[in-house]
Amino acid sequence: MKERFLIKGSVQGVGFRPFIFRVANEMNLGGRVRNAGDGVDLEVSGKKENIESFRKIIEKKPPPACRVEKIVRLESNKQKIKGFFISESEGEAEPSLSLPPDIAVCDRCVKEMKDQENRRFLYPFTACVDCGPRFTTLEALPYDRGNTSMKKFSMCPECLEEYNNPDNRRYHFQANCCGKCGPNYTFEKKRGEDAIKKAVLLLKKGNAVAVKSWGGFHIMADAFSGEAVSKVRKIKKRKHKPLALMAKNIETVRKYCRVTEEDAEILSSFQRPILLLKKKAIEKEISSVSPDNSSIGMMLPYSGIHHLLFKFSGLDLFVTTSLNRPSEPTITDNAKAAGFFNGPVLSHELDISSVCDDSVLKSSESANQFIRRSRGYVAQPVEFPLEGSVLSSGAGENVSFCFTRDRKAYPSQYFGSLKSPASQERYMKNIGKWIKIWNHRPRALACDMHPGYPSRALFEKLSSQKGIPLYKIQHHHAHLAGCAAEHNLRGKLIGAAFDGVGYGDDGQLWGGEYMVFDYCGYDRMGRFKPHPLPGGDAAAREPFRSALSYAFTAGEKFNPKGVENSCTKAVRKMIKERINSPLSSSTGRFIDAAASICGLVNISTFSSRAPIALESLLHEMPSEGYRFRIARKSSFFEINSSDIIKGVLEDIKRNRAREEIASKVHFSIARAAADGLRELSLRTGIKKACLSGGVFLNGYLFSMVSKMLKEEGIETFLNSKVSPGDNGISYGQAAVCAAKYREEE
């Protein structure tokens, strides 16, 4: 018999067609396979039972980076095909949204790079059907060489022979190349191995070197050289912010960090993200990389150049951070890198079609969570419970946009802040590219309702130009809707959204919210009691301002150490007279206040420095907290967090250990979240609770809240496929937008 199938999902550029070819030949099946605009088109002929077994293997055991989402049976002529082969692609159909991600170089390719007898010995672009850059080189669909930045490199006879050899693992590998015909590294006037060795020599001497990888340039340096780390901090203008490390192997990671089996799997996965892990005591050797922090970001090599840098240098750890100006995108262009970086630059000749920063996850008490979903995961889909084609913008920081179609969501790579014109230009250019590649026509647009966010202004302009309706989504509703959508939850739900600040529909700054919600709307039924934020956004940069505000409201005195009396006096006046001091229910600013009162952070030199410092004092799950009151007014309630701050100040006077105070603060926040959600559940009878917002990147908090509510029969949910912070909010915006648009149709 003969069958024809259309296979949809992440099936192009991930070694899927060669995989099908090998399996078909092993099972003595005839037919052909090719890339189509909307997936992979497969015709197969043979015995019925063999075809059925073949289909099950394709569906259940595809290559690691492949995701088979649907196998659709198509009409087929009865003419049998002798032999099995891979045919030319066709792209008439509407393109699938599943793009191939970048895949860490596989063990077999690394082995070839280290084999002196192999023709790819020390060649950094060694790759095969199972690995290599994909998303960052793609320019159009289907995934063929002519639609990638590899198109300017023609295969030499030996590579072409591999490409056409069914028995070779580079059979029909679109990016096939070697040192004779492919791209290579350059350093000053040197090329290839000589260029890499010259850069390594400088690294070993304590220099910071700009190194071009797959999604952009990194700044790399010897992690054990205090001088080198200081240079990186000066270049990045990062006085205290943690720097990520790339380790030679998993054994090196285990030497400095606590690593579970799940952690090791994530670190070694084809995505190779940065994973935040708890430090071990011997971490003092590299303490300057992540000061005042109990965690450190670790990653393993994912490209050929990384393996060669370790091989030639003999080092075990490199500082590895993106090359960019503050609030601007990572640099991908060779000339711009040389112009910006006042130091040695190791670049290569392969153009980067799409910028893509390293993904960042956090190993926590509850589950590993995304802080930043980017390289290795983009543009893989996330399940989406709603119909509709929409495009959402993200928020103001940690920005990503998101497309939806066919009950799938496609969050973009990370873009950071959109404050600079260069960042906005890169962001909109990528939106245009995604629309063009997929011929995607969104029926509705979504953005945050904050009037000051550049993403809102850009989407208002896009809406006007394209004539597409724009929905302005409340920040915390988007957080909670995203959590619900991840878990395919339906109907009315209860939720707690805790973060820094988000613009409320009353024009105030929210951040500690309790809601009864569905995808179309919400009722805000509780909050943390609002406090003045002296200086507005300045309070986020200077936690002592929030500390003074909370102490004032609690009727207590607080004098932040290291802050001039004149400054303290001016801020107190702002609070008392409500001068440029908007009210905010922010849980994030409350945590800032607690950290400042504990003497941890008065000035935040990077985002979330204060909550990170407070969390770093915890070494076990907290078991007691401070008392607080819940004020109830009709159908609305307020958590009086001033009571908690009063308790902190009293413990400071008693010279209690900061670890004990930090533990009690965390327990109090968890109890406040649980008590508020229990209140909502009692009023509504709803037993499913979503928790979202950047505060819940603290794994201790979710674990405690979940445990507290389980006793009440309330089931809790947290984001895991996207970040609970603002990097994942575009997914939630898309859910609200799709629901509202459909309701209004």
Which CATH number does the domain housing residue 50 bear? 3.30.70.100
What is the Cα–Cα distance from 221 to 233, expressed in whole angstroms? 11
In a domain, 615, yes or no: no
Q: pLDDT band for 98, please (50, 70, 90 cuts).
A: low
Task: Based on the fold, state whether residues 408 and 322 are members of the same structural domain.
Answer: no
In a domain, 141, yes or no: no
Per-residue pLDDT at 516 = 98
Task: Based on the fold, state whether residues 389 and 456 are members of the same structural domain.
Answer: yes
- What is the distance in angstroms between the CA of the first residue and the CA of the last residue of the chain? 46
Give pLDDT tens digits for 613-655.
999 999 888 889 999 999 998 889 999 999 999 999 999 999 9
Percent of the chain past pLDDT 70, that is, above it, reads 98
Task: Based on the fold, state whether residues 291 and 391 are members of the same structural domain.
Answer: no
In a domain, 289, yes or no: yes
Upstream peptide bond of 532 is cis (omega within 30 degrees of 0) = no
Give pLDDT tens digits for 198-225.
999 999 999 999 999 999 999 999 999 9
Count CB-CB contacts under 10 A for residue 246: 28
Mean of the per-residue pLDDT values for the chain? 93
Task: Based on the fold, state whether residues 315 and 388 are members of the same structural domain.
Answer: no
Q: What DSSP string runs through 183-241?
A: --EEETTEETHHHHHHHHHHHHTT--EEEE-SSSEEEEEETT-HHHHHHHHHHHT-SS-
The phi, psi pair for 591, rounded to 5°, reads -65, -40
- For the residues 241-261, what does the mean pLDDT come to? 95
Q: What DSSP string runs through 78-110?
A: S---SSEEE------SPPPS-PPPPBPPPHHHH
Per-residue pLDDT at 96 = 58
- For the residues 724-738, what does the mean pLDDT come to? 98
Task: Based on the fold, state whether residues 60 and 197 are members of the same structural domain.
Answer: no
Give pLDDT tens digits for 406-415.
899 999 999 9
Q: pLDDT band for 39, please (50, 70, 90 cuts).
A: confident
Long-range contacts of 464-470 (CB under 8 A, 24+ apart): 468/442, 468/443, 468/444, 469/444, 469/445, 469/741, 470/444, 470/445, 470/446
What is the Cα–Cα distance from 592 to 595, expressed in whole angstroms? 5
| Residue where a domain terminates, one of 52, 71, 86 | 86
Whether 594 and 649 have beta carbons less than 8 Å apart is answered as no
Give the angle 164-166-167 at the CA atoms, nearest 5°: 120
Q: pLDDT band for 479, please (50, 70, 90 cuts).
A: very high
Is the pLDDT at 730 greater than 80? The verdict is: yes
Whether 136 and 354 have beta carbons less than 8 Å apart is answered as yes
| Residue where a domain terminates, one of 362, 387, 412 | 362
Q: What DSSP string runs through 628-665?
A: -EEEEETTEEEEETHHHHHHHHHHHHTT--HHHHHHHH
Task: Based on the fold, state whether residues 207 and 323 are members of the same structural domain.
Answer: yes
Per-residue pLDDT at 9 = 82
Residue 134, H or E segment: none
Task: Based on the fold, state whether residues 245 and 341 are members of the same structural domain.
Answer: yes
What is the Cα–Cα distance from 620 to 562, expressed in whole angstroms? 30
Residues 6 or more apart from 500 whose CB is under 8 A from it? Answer: 511, 540, 586, 588, 589, 694
Q: What DSSP string runs through 153-172?
A: SPPPHHHHHHHH-TTSTTTT
Give the angle 206-211-214 at the CA atoms, nearest 5°: 150
In a domain, 144, yes or no: no
- For the residues 578-583, what does the mean pLDDT come to? 96
Whether 417 and 396 have beta carbons less than 8 Å apart is answered as yes
CA gyration radius for the chain? 27
Q: What DSSP string runs through 254-281?
A: HHHB---HHHHHHHHSTT--EEEEEBPG
Is the pLDDT at 672 greater than 60? The verdict is: yes
Comparing 448 with 342, the larger pLDDT belongs to 448
Task: Based on the fold, state whether residues 483 and 412 are members of the same structural domain.
Answer: yes
Give pLDDT tens digits for 4-26.
999 988 888 788 888 898 898 88
What is the Cα–Cα distance from 641 to 623, expressed in whole angstroms? 19
In a domain, 165, yes or no: no
Give pLDDT tens digits for 492-542.
999 999 999 999 999 999 999 999 999 999 999 999 999 999 999 999 999
Task: Based on the fold, state whether residues 400 and 358 are members of the same structural domain.
Answer: no
Task: Based on the fold, state whether residues 413 and 358 are members of the same structural domain.
Answer: no
Residues 6 or more apart from 707 whose CB is under 8 A from it? Answer: none
Whether 542 and 604 have beta carbons less than 8 Å apart is answered as yes
Residue 274's domain comprises: 185-362
* Range 269-294 burial, b when 16+ CB lie within 10 A, else e: bbbbbbbbbbbeeebeebebbbeebb
What is the Cα–Cα distance from 436 to 90, expressed in whole angstroms? 17
Per-residue pLDDT at 475 = 98
In a domain, 368, yes or no: no
What is the Cα–Cα distance from 129 to 145, expressed in whole angstroms? 13
CATH code for the domain of 455:
3.30.420.360
Upstream peptide bond of 379 is cis (omega within 30 degrees of 0) = yes
Q: H helices within 542-586, ranges in order?
A: 543-553, 565-577
Is the pLDDT at 421 greater than 70? The verdict is: yes
* Residues composing the chain: 745
In a domain, 383, yes or no: yes
CATH code for the domain of 194:
3.90.870.10
In a domain, 500, yes or no: no
Task: Based on the fold, state whether residues 280 and 192 are members of the same structural domain.
Answer: yes
Q: How many domains does the chain contain in total?
A: 3
Task: Based on the fold, state whether residues 249 and 202 are members of the same structural domain.
Answer: yes
| Residue where a domain terminates, one of 86, 121, 142 | 86
